[in-house]
Structure 1
Amino acid sequence: MSLSAENKPIHTILLDASPILLNTPSISTLTATCNTLVTTSAVISEIKGEEARNRFETLYKPFIEIHTPKPESIKLVRDFARRTGDLAVLSATDIEVLALAYELECERNGGDWRLRSVPGQKRVNGAPPKKEEQLAIVQGDDAPSVADTTRDAAGTAGEDKRLEETTEGLRAATLESAVLGQQPQEESVPLQAKDEVEEILKPEVDGVPELEEDNSADSDDGWITPLNIKRRKAKDEGAADTKDQPQKTLQVATMTGDFAMQNVLLQMNLNLLSTKSCKRITNIKQTIFRCHACFQTTRDMSKQFCPRCGKPTLTRVTCTTNDKGEVKLHLKANYQWNNRGNVYSVPRPTAGTANQKWKGPKSGGGQSGWGNDLILTEDQKEYQRAVKGQQRSRQKDLMDEDSLPGILTGQRSSAGRIQVGAGKSINSRKR
């Protein structure tokens, strides 16, 4: 392994479709940050735009590896996502990316000992393996052999013997110079030996007092001796910033912009990277729905009814997830549910409204017929009809002649969230 590869902070980065489509970060930043880029075939199939496809073929394809996760890993990740409540908003491609991240993590770290098996688990699955086993797993064929170990031991023994002989010679020269008042002969002593025997020369030897270093400008600022070289090194290193410490190498990290995937990655304790800084993310913040009636939460922001009780009582709340797997909901203090529009009783449904045979306000439905086609639950025919109508509606072309007058007048399309209930203005006073 080259020196440049050892200094990279991440070994393997797993890419989702969003970093490739947005080209953030660039391929040069990715290759400078990690040793290997990995993705799945399903992610590549999602790149359908001509510009993004050409960019992938020219820039990413020569550096990226395509892997396929095992069915066992897909099942494990799917069960975990079902418990976190994210399975409903995760696609098959997202599940494959998460499964591949789990496989690579277990491969690089020798098992799933640093992961969590269930959401909210207080600690990880187990203790790390022994250093020898982990070194053999990471290095593979590069592990030192028995012959290399024996050769290193013999070289170390010879080095210790040479150092001992040099120390004895330097000790004798120092004692002689201390008695005669002369400086020791330093030219014949190797620099490496001077560094290693510094601690031996400091204490008193056979009753001769310790040699005190001269504090004059000539000795302090001019010459470097075995007695002051360690202090000089410490002084020079003390000026450097202590924050410039080598970053701990991450074995596997995933880069994605999907909030549901990020939530599953953090709760499983899989490494998550930022697409802006390529740094590890330890906390994510997102918005989810929470039912005011039964306190059920869902991450599907297209929902209008609670998936548990079926009532239109979903409210937006902020949710944060940290690298410890802790999920916190940030609720408003002294929140009051708005009952505006619920003063009057819902009128009795009129006959024929489900078949669209209503003849007008005189047929019933309250004043001005506000109670007709009133949507209160998700399984009503009126709601299903409105959903199908939205699916059939196509987006208008901006260059269409029929659409230009609407754009100039500021008219907007009525397609959006289906109105549930009578609305908040039903109880307002009529003028």
Structure 2
Amino acid sequence: MGPKVDALVVDTTAFIRNAPIHELSSNITTVQEVVNEITSKRQIRRLVVLPYDLQLKDVFQENIQFITEFSKKTGDYPSLSATDIKVMALTYQLEKEKVGTEHLNTEPQMKKELTFNRLPNDLTNVAGFFVPGKKENQKDSEIKDSEVNDVIEKFDALNCSDNINGVKLDDILAPVKEESHIEKNENSSDNEKDYDSEEDDDDEEEDDDDEDDDSDSGWITPQNIASKRQEIILEESGEPLKVACITSDFAMQNVLKQIGLNMLSCDGRLIQQLRSFILRCYACFKTTSVMTKVFCPNCGNKTLKKVAVSLKEDGTQVIHISSKKRLSARGKRFSLPTPKGGKHAKNPILSEDQRIPDQRPSRLARTKNNPLDPDYTAGYSPFVMRDINSRSAMLGIRGNMDIKSLMRHEPNNARRKGKKKK
């Protein structure tokens, strides 16, 4: 079997699960961040002795920007990492180079629901009710009396005879002898019953044999699950794909499928329905399509939940709320820790408009050493000096960092440190 994909972009899950991706394509590509995510010794050993050449490519910034904006519109942006976005951007970049972008979507296609009226508009065929039809035109339905009289005269002129071609016919109203016919029917019915019972016995025996033969065929058992997965991965298609991405991340699959890019899975787990997500506040029941929000724009509480939405024919949104996920107020009320000052304070963020420190790195960390600068003072070392002693360096603060001071858990709870003593 020849290669199924001309250019295959690989996610981290394919390397972790040791998928036979060399059987899918001879041109396998990924980004450097995917290789950096592999930290296990066993997986690194497999990565060193790959039976194919793994190509690492850089992604253009415009493609990363397109994937980022598209994932925000579908609502999958909070579920994606920077590596996931780069993998999808590389797939989009190769698709643009090899095929083009005319067949790709620039906006997500919202799922539409078809609604049907419970009561039909035509009430003439309602069960249990009689609706009289429209009166027909009386001019068309009226028959002239002269025409009726002509028909009666013609029927009166007809003569009926008992002889046809010299043969006398019996009286059609003569009684029929039914006794012999009934006896014959009884005998034939008994024979049919015996024959049917024999056929039923034969059919039951044949069904039992067929069930025994087909009991193991078509079922997935622990013995053949590996071969079934291999068949799903290596299932041949009509034409080989130009570009595809292999991943098991459902958020990535949702974005790729809505764009129109081809995708594969390591174990056959592919999404069947496209979904779009928004944030819904379970305190004031307002919604927002900005998936980067943490606090509700209406009430200001941190009570936003991601829900799936679809569109009706008239354009109204339908929110699909899962009844399995129950809301709980546990852990919502607790005493706050004492606020701390300083330019590197990490206080919990309780509202969207709360003032936070700049978290800037030190001056030494912000200096750039450029030996080719015309104002460069000769005699100094051309090597870059690293800041390792300042408080910002100890806290791991670098330039252009996102502030992550949000409380995921109650800060007053004791944290586990080390192993439990026996």
Please confirm whether the aligned pair reaches a TM-score higher than 0.5, indicating the same fold: no
- Work out which structure has the larger RCO, using CA pairs closer than 8 Å and 6 or more positions apart in sequence: 2
* Normalised-by-shorter TM-score class: 0.3 to 0.5
Q: Structure 2-normalised TM-score?
A: 0.44
Q: Structure 1-normalised TM-score?
A: 0.43
More helix by share: 1
Compare CA radii of gyration and give the structure with the larger one. Answer: 2
